[in-house]
Structures are given as structure tokens and as C-alpha cells.
Structure 1
Amino acid sequence: MGMILACSPKTQVNQSTSPSDEPQYLLTVGNENVPAEEFLHMLSKNRDFNQTGEKLSPEEFEENLALFIDYKLKVKEAEALGMHESEDFVREFGTFKEDLKKPYLLENSLQEGELRKAYSRMQEVVHAQHILLRFPPNASKEDSIAVLRMAINLKEKAEGGENFGELALEYSQDPSVSTNQGDLGYFTSLQMVYAFEDAVYQLQEGQVSDPVLTSFGYHIIKLIDRKPNPGQVRVSHILVRTDPADPVSEDRARRKITDIYTELQKDDVSWDEVCKAYSEDNATKNSSGNLPWFGVGAFIKEFENAAFSLREEGEISAPVKSPYGYHIIRLEEKKPIASYEEMEESLKSKILRDSRSDLIQSQVIAIQKSKYNFKENTAIINASISSMKQSSGGISNAHQILADKNLMDSTLFTINEKPKKVSDLVSFIEADEVVIKPSQRNQFKAWLDKFIETSLAETEEMDLLANNEDYRLLIKEYRDGILLFNLMNEMVWQKALKDSAGLQEYFTEHQDQYQWKDRVQALIIKINKTSVKSPVQEFLTDKPYNSQLKSELTNYLEKDHSPLEFSIDQGTYEYADHPVLKKAALQKKLQQVTVDNKTYIVLLGEQFPAGPKALNETKGKVIQDYQESLDQNLISLLKENYIIQINEDEKNRIADIVVTQN
């Protein structure tokens, strides 16, 4: 069998170096040393070797070592064929690596901290009032200071005993203040912008915050109350709408909801029927008024307060007024706040969409800068920014602009004493492989910030590969796994599917493995209900076996019987191994057979003696066997062409860890 292999020559490995002078390895495959920890990592994926019952027998250990050697041979061959340099491999491995590294990054641990903090805060709901002072359009620095001074003044007034609601009515620029006097009701974590939430959860009841800056302006916040989170409720409701433009509608709606509420007190009245007849919420009236699960802070305050005040399933509230009209609410279910594990993905999704994500990224960069000895060359950075500002050429002409200023070879910053030059930044810009959020004022500065961020991230990844063994082994496993798949796909799996001549040759050479035993044509009807038996027998009496019988009998029976009352199989079977046919009398054409207390009606046709199968009758099995043959031939050839040496000391060390001791 012909096969093209790219293999290293059979040369002896130099054994003169003392083992203590170099890292210990389990194997050498060709010219590559394979660390013992890589083999141990593979063995440990689904086993805890600290548990006696999880350990391997000596035979299992040897089998696993043999498989590991075969695996490393194939990876070595894939590398020799250049598969690790192909565009498809680089793209696929890069995608895997991006996902694999996430749990090991600084960002993940910081994100985990924010998730835990958000979930911890969710154990409580807080009730707060606020006063919002917005900035004027195109606010100057002086404007911002003036707004801050006003906010400080309002805090002092509130702490001095002035009524917070009245202060809110007079000064707050929140559009809803006229109706709520700054009262936000109860809410919990991830329902307000982060800075606002952070300030509220640090207050004591009755305490007023310092001015809190958000994208809306400055807030003065007063904490009214905090209490345990009641979880979620699912309710149904009946709504009678009011029209603010029609003064009469308020009185009409109030009288109508009162009549509905009175009607619901009667024992023989159905909530579903009343809801369908009278509710004016078209989205829910035909589904019993059902609303989805919700928690504190998700609905309008009046509706939410009434819903959470209900205690027993089926309990109905008195009419409740809201901006939409009047509601009667019925409690369907309650449930406590979900576990952290259940909420983790939704928490992560929310955190990544709010300002916490920017906060986390800023913290990551600050930690990276400290950890990897980041040092800016302020003079060169300022000179580069200034040069770009003074030029009208734009970011696309950065190379020419900065070269004209003789800045290209200047160092912008160093990471672990390694310089990043202006020319490196320009190449980064020209590659255009990242998404930039450029500020309107300075696009070049946005590219510089992204270059710093990317350089630090690359340094962290290199640090992980150098110093985190778990990560290094995991990356190695996935890299080698992709190469193994690609080699097997090209040289074994696809070859067996596409090489019709080789498949036919293999089948011919191994014809003795593909033989039929004695067979018989048979129609087999399983009787699931006794009443079906007589119609089956009547239909089949005096009928010879033919290939259309299954269809004809099915159509006949389904006129008067459910398909569940019978099942029919038809074909040519090796009767010695068939659970029903092995009990049948072969000389009898139509007969009843009982197997495991189940009744079968059997009609037999032509019998065939044992003999060879045609390729098309067993092609799937032949392809499978041919693939296995190609695999074994590949391994044999690789073992001939690559020298394999085993370090017995390391092998024994691993065996002491994973093999059961008798």
C-alpha cells in the first residue's frame, strides 16, 4: 500500500547528557522530547488518582502508554507534513485558543469577582430616593463645577433635615420627579447604572450620599429601606384601562373594576371566564391574564407592590391603580432568588453590557502594567500624538507623518524591558485587525491605547504559556488534537471513503470475513393487541411471500385498528441469530411464534444458504475495517521511520502515581 510520509531519519539519540542537566521526559519521538506530565495530564482527564478505586491496572497502564505513543507519532507526522502551518489549522487553533485561555486570564478572575458581588447584592432589595442634576449642553469645566457645588449644597440641605421629596420636586431634573418625588421604589443589583448602584449599596438607612456622577449627571441619593430579596412571582391580571384625556373614563373604570372584583368573590365564578370577558389587556385576556415571571424593580411600582404582597397561590388582590388603569392581580407562583450557578450566565451577559465591563478592563490593564513592568516613554508618546494632530493626513498616513519626524525607530513603551517602537504601532494600525473605538478628538490616541492593551494581553498569554502548566498542557492537547484529526482525516478516513479501488481490493482480500449465514425471507408481525391477530391471519392465509406485503397489510389493518396495536418488519434475515425466527419452523410457511410472552405472526418466503456477501451488502462495515487497516499500516510505518525511546525512570514515576499497588 503506497503512502507518502514525511519522517525524520533513523538516527540515535545522544545519551551522553546527564538526566539532571535537562528537563526530564517520558519519551523521545524522533528528535522531540515528550514530558511525562503530558501523559499524566491525558490519563487524569476522567480519573482522580488520589482515589484507590480510580487507579489503573498494570495492563491498562501499558495499553494507555501504547496509545499515547501512537498519538504522539501521528502528531509528529502531521508536523513533518506542515499541517501546523496551514491557514485552516492556524485559524481553527486560534479560535480554540481564544476560548481556552479565558478562564486563566486576569480578566476572568476580576469578572468572577464582579459576578459574585452582583449576586451577593441581589440577596437584598433597596428602596431609594434621588435628586438628579443634569449638565447643560456642551458643558464647560466651569459648568460641571457649578453643578457639583449645587449637588453638595442639596446634600447639606437634606442632611440638615429638609424634606428630601420636596427638595427633589424643587431641584431634580429627572422627568419622573413630578409623579414620584424622586422615589425609585425597590430595586436590586444590575437594575441601575453601576455608579448609582455602588453608592446605594454602601449607604445605611436614612443616610444621604455624596454627589454620585453618572452619564445622566450628578445624583444625591437617600436610602429609605433595605430588606431581603423576595425572589420572583408569576401572576395573572385583569385590566380595565383609563384614558387620561377622558375625565369620565376614570370613574367608569373604577366602577367596572369594582363590579368585576365583586363577581370574583362568588364561589361559582371562573377567573378564566371573567378575564376573557372583561379584561382590556388584549395580549393576555385569552390566556387567563398570565404574565411572565418577574422580580423586584421589573414592573411599575404600584403593580409590583400589590403582586409581592400576595401570600397564597390563587389569592386575589383588591383593585390596584397604575398609569395603565385598574388591575386585579392573582398570584400563580412564587420562587426564591435562583442559585449563583443558575444565574451565572445571565449575570455575565448583563455585566458585559454595562459599565462594569469597562471598569474590569481598566483594572486588568492596571494590573498588567504593574505585573509586567510597563514603562511609558512620555516624550515620544506626546511627540507622536502632537505630530499626528498637526498633520492633515489622517490615520492612514501615519507611516509617512511619523517617518518625516524621524520617530519610527523611537521607543513608545517597554514591557518587561522589551521595547515597543513607533514603527510597531504603525504596523499594528496598518494591519487593521482589531476593532477600535476612536474618540472624536484623537483617533491616533485610540489606536495607541488599543496597541498598549493588545501588547499587554499578548504578554499575559506568553506568561501563561511559560509559567502555568495546566494552561500549557491544555493548549498542547488541543493543538495536537487538531493535528491528529487533520492527519487521520487525510490519510485514513477520507482515503477509505474515496479510494474505491483500494476498498475493493481490501474487500476481495478479506472476503472470508464478510459471509452470510443461512437466511430466509420473512414478514414478522408483532401482535400488541389480541383483536389484531385474526385479521392478520385471515389476510395472510394462502398468500405467498412478496416484497409488497408489509405495505398491503399495514393499509388493511389501519382501516379498523390503531398503529399502536401492531408492528411489522419485513426482510431477509439470518434466522439462527434472530430472536423470533430462531424459534420458527422453517418448513411451515405461515405460523404463530411466542417470544417472552409476546405473540408474533410469521410468514416465510425463500431460503438462502450461507455464502459470501456482495460489497454493496456490507459496504459500511468494509469501510470501517479498511479505515482500521489504514490506521494500523500508518502506525507501523511511523514506528519504522521515527525512533521511539522510553525513559524508564519517568515511566515508573508515573506508574507509581496512577497504577494500583497489589
Structure 2
Amino acid sequence: MKTTYQCLWVLGLLVACSPNSKVSQSTPLSDEPQYLLTVGNENVSAEEFMHMLSKNREFDQKEDKLSKQEFEENFDLFLNYKLKVKEAEALGMDETVEFQREFNAFKEDLKKPYILETSLQEGEIRKAYSRMQEIVHAQHILLRFPANSGREDSVAVFRMAVKIKERAEAGEVFSKLAEEYSQDPSVKNNQGDLGYFTSLQMVYPFEDAVYQLKPGQVSDPVLTDFGYHVIKLLDRKPNPGQVKVSHILIRTDPTDPLSEDRAKRKITDIYAALQKEDTSWEEVCELFSEDTNTKENGGELPWFGVGAFLKEFEDAAFGLTEIGEISSPVKTSYGYHIIRLEDEKPLAPYEQVEESLKSKILRDSRSGLINSQVIAIQKSRYDFMENGTVIATAKELVTGQSTALKDLREVYTSQNIMDSTLFTVKGESKKVADLVDFVERDEVVVKVGRKNPFDAWFSKFVETTLDQAEEADLMANNDDFRLLVNEYREGILLFNLMNEQVWQKALKDTAGLMEYFEGHRDQYMWEERTEALIVSVLAPEAEKPIKDFLAGTHYQAGLKEALVDHLPSLSTLSYKVEEGVFEVDNNPVLKAMEIQSGLQEVEVNNKRYIALLGKQYPEGPKAFNETRGKVIQDYQEYLNQTLISLLKQNFIIQINEDEKSRVENIVVAQN
């Protein structure tokens, strides 16, 4: 293996300066792991260099390949980049609390696309969207648990639900069974009929059971937080999407027996009036609708889909087929409505609703289900084994403590169980002392709720440990994730080093900045300059009044404002004015003129210019305050190059020329 050695000390430009490229998976670097560089005592793989190059370019294509010069420039940048990272590590920048906090926050975001939880979430999102292609119509009977119920009560409720299911399957009318047994408060009004609905509109166990039924089927008892449900599916059909409607509402008052008749007569009269061609819906709505939130805007309601409004209202709204069509009066619990169809649209594509579906899923019981599935898979994948005896002992010793478990260390130390193993993950033991440390760090939110405090903290400890095992697995076995995390880690270190030793130093080191300026004055020179008011004539009618104003006038500061004020009748779009001191050779208009005081005219690139020149200034040095920004920029680059030179004296670099040539053959265009 051919190698070369260089002495280097860390600093260079970030590899982001390199062309964006993407490594094709069909172009392996070598058959076995090879290092490209050794910086100090750390080997750097060719894979990492290729990752830095790989942004939106596939080297399989000739047009995407680099030139030999580009390759060498990128290699030097990468070398300097790795040196800077090595120096930052030598200075302990990777051990600071600030770095750890920032890096861990980035890492949490970076790993989301790779972890089990994300893949399971995506599965649930896609399942919900798939179910949303249909709407289902169901009835149910709810049996609640008695207050302070125990296991025997739960069994009794379950057995009653089974008997009701058997009676329904035997042919008894489901609505009659609902009226007799259901403890859903709405059963008096709907006989257990829930109308049409779709995914994410019912609690998850209920939805899951409904979507597994065929029309006419009755479910086994379904347990939710409300109790046991017996569900009958009446119908399922394609989702009609969403509609936008307007409505006119005449309210009824349940406490007034006469309001029903009055409202019915009034809505009938309104409906009859709307059948006439010369009747304005908006005027009628404003005059008569009793929905104070919508009457001023024609009764318009937001877009809605199935399951969002009252069943009777929805049935009428989705029964309208033509834009502008008006329904006959519809009775709901609010009163009587007349509905007009304004617009309709199909179910949105998956990409448009993905984020909103994810938000809903993470807020309902699916999130708990996903978390349970993640933990189960992790336990299996990473050989999780519990020590039930030690766990039971640890729990018993702190039963009755506060939710924070403040005295764990004292209690467990007194019982000599701190070194006892609670569980193992991938053969690594997690001891009671590790749990105590976890609780005392108090870095996570633990929702105790009705749980035993020990159970809540222990479950979170297990969950955190398994997440750490999954992350370690990703780092060891997923090259994309490992390279991405390393890129962000080193990027933070590079920024911190450059900020401390280059960027901020250039701003704070006033003496050094002035010394650099004095030593490089020849780089900050004015070329020949002149005072000038330059007017670009954009419309022919502007030329004469501008010339008339400037004729016989000497240049002076503030002349631009005076010119604009003198020409109020001219459109400001008919001319454009610049004023100041300009370097002649850097201004194309002035370059085309004879530089002397007074009024001049010139045409440049088919555009007419009028200029009034004032005092001329010869070439000469700039004052510091005239070029401060440029001096700071140059001083920063000077500090950068100085640092690189020092790094090259302090770190030994070994370059694997064979591996470098191998990479070059992949990414460089061959003549």
C-alpha cells in the first residue's frame, strides 16, 4: 500500500464548499474497509469523503464527474476539515454541556426517519388514509362499567354484551335492543344509529372493529374507555369527500311547545320564497336566518366531510348534487335548516393530509399502541431479559413514596441491592444503581397518573434503554445514519472552533486587526474618484426638465432630493438618480465620460444618462473606517490560514495513496 505523510494542524474550509454530488450505490469503493487518511490517531474512511461529496450527483454519469483539479481541491478541503475537527476534540469542545445539548437535539431529529417508531407511525397513517377511502354506517349498544367496578363487574358486563350480540345475530331488531340496553345518552334520539363516519372519528378500538365487519355483521364485544360496545355495520361506501354549504336556520326551543309549529311555518314560507327566480339567497339569509355566526356572510359554513355535523344535516348536504341546489327544510336538534350546495371536492391526496393525519394519530390511543409495539419489537431484537425477583423487591421497598421517588438511593443502599441486575439488553446489565441515576438526573418527563410511581419510572427507564440500544444499532449497522450523524457532529465542532479562533477573534482582537490593516495598506486603495449626480433617463419626457434644473448648477451634497422635489409632475418611474463619490473605472457611465466638473451627457448600452460632476480625487489609501468590513473579512481569512499552518505542524497525516486513487477513478472524468 502506497502512503504519504504530512504534518498538519487543524483548520480549513468546510467541505460544503465542494460541488454537490451523490455516490451511486453501484460504485463500491473497495471489497474491504480501507482508510483514506489517518489524522493523528484516527483513521478516516474513503466512504466518509465520498459522503461529503455526495449531494445530488451520481458519479455513474460522465457529466456528473469532477475534473482532476476539482478533485484535488475537494480533497484538500476535506483534509483541512478533518484537521479542524481533530483540533476541536483536542480542545475538549466535544465534552462541553453546550455541545452535548446541541448535538443530542440534532441527533434526535436526524434519527426519526430511521427508527422503528417512525415506520410504525407511517404504517398507521397509511392505514388510516386507506380506511378514509370509505365511509361506514353503524349502530352500537354501549354497556358501561359500574362506578368503582372490580374484575367481577367487568366480567359481568362482558357476558351481558355477549348475550346481546347473540340476540342480535338471532334476528332481533338491533335498534330495539339498543333502546332496551344501551347506556349511551344519545340512544333516546338515535336508537344507537351513529350515522356515517370514517377513520379517526371514533376511538381506535371502535374504529378497528367496525372496519373489519361486513354489512349486516355484528361485532364481538369491543372494549373502549367508555365500556363494552356491540356494533352492527349497516353499510359501507366510497367517501364522497367534502362539501361547502350555506344554510338558513330557524331555531326551535324545546321548552316552548309552540316554537316547533312557528318555526316549521316560517321555514316553509322561506323555502317557498327561495323558489322564485328574483329572490336573493343572501338577502333572505341576512333577514331571517337565526344563525348569528353566518347570517352576515350568506350562511356559509366551512368545508366538512362525513361525520363532522349532525346526521340529518349531513344527509341533506351530501344529498345535493348540483352547485347552487337548495334542499327542502331539514329538521335537526337546532331547528329547521335550508341548505344550499356551494362547492364540493374529493378526498385530498395522501401527501396533502399526511401531517394532519399524523397529528391526529399522535393525539389518540394509537400513539400508545405504537409505543407498545415499538417496545415489544425492541425487546425481541435486543435480547431483553428481566430479573423479576429484583424488580419486585425494588418496587416493594419504595411502595408508598411520592411520584418523584426522592429517597431511592438511601433505601436501596441500605438494603444492599444497588449492584443487583434489573434487566439485560444485548447482554449488558442494567442495575438498580443505573435506575437510581436515571431518576436522579430527572432528564425525562414521566407521567405517573394512576400508575405506581415505581412502575412509571421503571417503564420509562426500560424504554430509554431500549431506545439507546436501537440508536447504537443504527450507528453500527446503518451507514447512511452513521455518516449523517457524524457529519452533523463534526459540523458543530467545526463551527465552534472557527467561531472561537477565527470569526469572533477577528472582531474582538482590535490590536491585531489594526496591525493587519497597517501591514496590508496596499490592498485597500481608492482608485480615481469623483463626486457625481448620475441620472438615468427612462422616459423621453424626463430629459429636458432634468437638464434645465441641472444647467448652471454646481454639484453639492443633497442635490438628489432637490432634483426630485423640483420635478413633482414627473413620474418617479421616468428617471432614476444616484448620488455620491464613485470610482471612475468601476462605473460604466463615468468611464464613458470626460472626467471634469460640470454637466455631461452620455449614452451607454442604448440608455441615456445625464451627470453633474463635482470634485475629483486621485488614487490613494483608504482610511480604516472606509473599508472596515473588507479588512475584517481578510483578517478572518488570514487567521484561518495561519491556524491551518499551525495545525500542519502539530498533526501527522498519513494518506493512503492507493485508496485515494481508487476514489479518484470513481469520481474524476477520464480523458
TM-score by length of 2: 0.89
Deviation at 1:274, TM superposition (A): 4.0
Structure-2 separation of matches of 1:506 and 1:433: 48
Partner of 2:619: 610
> Residues 280 and 82 (structure 1 numbering): CA distance in 2 closer, same or farther, change over 3 Å?
same
Conserved? CA contact 2:253–2:260, under 8 Å: yes
> Aligned-pair distance for 1:370?
1.1
Check the 8 A contact 1:122/1:188 in 2, yes or no: yes
CA-to-aligned-CA distance 1:453-485 (integer Å, 9 cap, x gap): 111111221222222221111111111000000
SS of the counterpart of 2:216? Answer: coil
What's the counterpart of residue 111 of structure 2? 101
Q: Deviation at 1:324?
A: 2.5
- Describe the SS at the equivalent of 1:603: strand
Displacement of 1:355 in angstroms is 0.7
Partner of residue 283, structure 1: 293
Look up the match of 1:623: 632
CA contact (8 A) 2:162 2:221 kept: yes
Superposition map of 1:71-220 within 5 A: 71-220=81-230
CA distance in structure 2 between the aligned counterparts of 1:531 and 1:256, rounded to whole angstroms: 68
Partner residue, 1:303: 313
Aligned-pair CA distance for 1:492: 1.1
State the Cα deviation string for residues 122-173 of structure 1 (Å, max 9, x = none). Answer: 1111111111111111111111111111111111111111111121122111
| Corresponding residue to 1:568 among 567, 573, 577 | 577
The 1-side partners of 2:536 and 2:335 are apart by 64
Secondary structure, in 3 states, of the residue corresponding to 2:112? helix
User: What CA distance in whole angstroms lies between the structure 2 residues aligned with 1:288 and 1:57?
Assistant: 67
Secondary structure of 2:55 counterpart: helix
Does the 8 Å CA contact 1:128/1:221 hold for their aligned counterparts? yes
- Go from structure 1 to structure 2 and tell me whether the alpha carbon gap of 1:580 and 1:270 turns closer, same or farther (over 3 Å shift): farther
Equivalent in 251, 256, 259 of residue 246 of structure 1? 256
Q: Matched residues in 1 for 2:265 and 2:534: separation?
A: 72
Please tell me whether the aligned partners of residues 129 and 182 of structure 1 are also in contact (alpha carbons under 8 angstroms): yes
Q: How far 1:225 sits from its partner (Å)?
A: 1.2
Counterpart contact for 1:133–1:217, Cα < 8 Å: yes
Deviation at 1:445, TM superposition (A): 1.8
- The equivalent residue for 1:11 is none
**Cα shift at 1:340:** 1.9
Structural mapping, 1:444-523, within 5 Å: 444-523=454-533
The answer for unaligned runs of 5 or more in structure 1 is 9-19
Matched, 1:343 2:345: no
1:539-554 matched pairs, under 5 angstroms:
539-554=549-564
Q: CA–CA distance in 2 between the matches of 1:528 and 1:280? A: 60
CA contact (8 A) 1:231 1:337 kept: yes
Shift of 1:107: 1.3
**Residues 1:408 and 2:407 aligned together:** no
Letter in 2 for 1:547: A
Distance 1:240 1:596, change over 3 A: farther
Deviations 1:174-215 (A, max 9, x none): 111111111111111111111011101101111111110000
Identity of counterpart residues, as a percentage? 65
Name the CA shift for 1:259/1:444 in 2 (closer, same or farther; >3 Å): same
Shift of 1:392: 9.6
Task: Quote the residue 1:419 is aligned against.
Answer: 429
Q: Which has the higher contact order (CA 8 A, sep 6+)?
A: 2
Contact conserved, 1:97 with 1:475, CA < 8 A, in 2?
yes
Distance 1:514 1:274, change over 3 A: farther
Contact in 2 for aligned 1:310/1:331 (Cα 8 Å): yes
In the alignment, does 2:235 pair up with 1:225? yes
Matched, 1:634 2:643: yes
Q: CA deviation at 1:96?
A: 0.8
- Mapped partners of 2:579, 2:333: distance in 1: 69
CA deviation string 1:434-453 (max 9, x = no partner) = 21122535211221211111
Checking the alignment, whether the CA contact within 8 Å between 1:306 and 1:320 is kept in structure 2 is: yes
Q: Name the CA distance, whole Å, in 2 between partners of 1:333 and 1:83.
A: 60
Paired residue for 1:12? none
8 Å CA contact 2:538–2:574 kept in 1: the answer is yes
Paired residues of 2:503 and 2:636 also in contact (CA < 8 A): yes
CA distance in structure 1 between the partners assigned to 2:523 and 2:250 by the alignment: 79
Higher alpha-carbon deviation: 429-438 or 144-153: 429-438
Moved more, 156-165 or 231-240: 231-240
User: How many Å separate the matches in 1 of 2:403 and 2:187?
Assistant: 50
Counterpart of 2:183 in 1: which secondary structure? coil
Deviation of the 1:585 alpha carbon:
5.5
Out of 230, 234, 237, the position equivalent to 2:247 is 237
Distance 1:325 1:461 in 2: 58
Cα distance, 1:36 vs structure 2: 1.2
8 Å contact from structure 1 (residues 535, 557) kept in 2 = yes
Aligned to 1:379, which of 373, 389, 396? 389
Q: Deviations over 1:2-61 (max 9, x none)?
A: xxx9969xxxxxxxxxxx9x9520001122111111111111133222333322222222
Indicate yes or no: 2:70 matched with 1:67: no
Deviates more, 1:385-394 or 1:255-264: 385-394
Structure 2 CA distance, aligned partners of 1:565 and 1:364?
68
Q: Any idea what the Cα deviations from partners look like across 1:373-427, whole Å, max 9, x if unmatched?
A: 1111112222222232388998222223333333222221112222222222222
2:332 aligned partner = 322
The aligned counterpart of 2:405 is 395
RMSD: 2.8
Which residue in 2 is equivalent to 1:16? none
What is the CA deviation profile of residues 536-560 of structure 1, one whole-angstrom value per residue up to 9, with x for unaligned ones? 44544444333223333444545x4
Q: Which amino acid aligns with 2:290?
A: E
| Partner deviation per Cα, 1:100-140 (whole Å, 9 max, x = no partner) | 12222111121121111111111111111111111111111
Comparing 161-170 with 297-306, greater Cα deviation is found at: 297-306
- Whether the 8 Å contact between 1:58 and 1:659 is mirrored in structure 2 is yes
Q: Decide which moves more: 229-238 or 615-624.
A: 229-238
Q: Is the 8 A contact 1:391 1:401 kept in 2?
A: no
Q: Alpha carbons of 1:309 and 1:521: their partners in 2 closer, same or farther (altered >3 Å)? A: farther
1:54 maps to: 64
CA contact (8 A) 1:26 1:35 kept: yes
Cα offsets for 1:581-610 (capped at 9, x unmatched): 444554573455555555554433333333
C-alpha distance after superposition, 1:320-372 (max 9, x if no partner): 33333333333333222222222221111111111111111111111111111
Q: In 1, Cα distance between the equivalents of 2:603 and 2:81?
A: 51
- Per the alignment, residue 20 of structure 2 pairs with none
- Aligned letter for 1:634? L
> For the residues of structure 2 that align with 1:453 and 1:381, how far apart are their CA atoms?
15
Gaps of 5+ in 2: 1-6, 11-29
Secondary structure, aligned partner of 1:337: coil
Superposition map of 1:22-41 within 5 A: 23-41=33-51
Q: Is the 8 A contact 2:136 2:233 kept in 1?
A: yes
Match in the other structure for 2:662: 653
Q: SS where residue 174 of structure 1 aligns?
A: coil
Contact 1:238 1:278 in 2 (8 A): yes
Q: Give a deviation string over 1:75-117, Cα, whole Å, max 9, x none.
A: 0111111111111111111111111122221111211211111
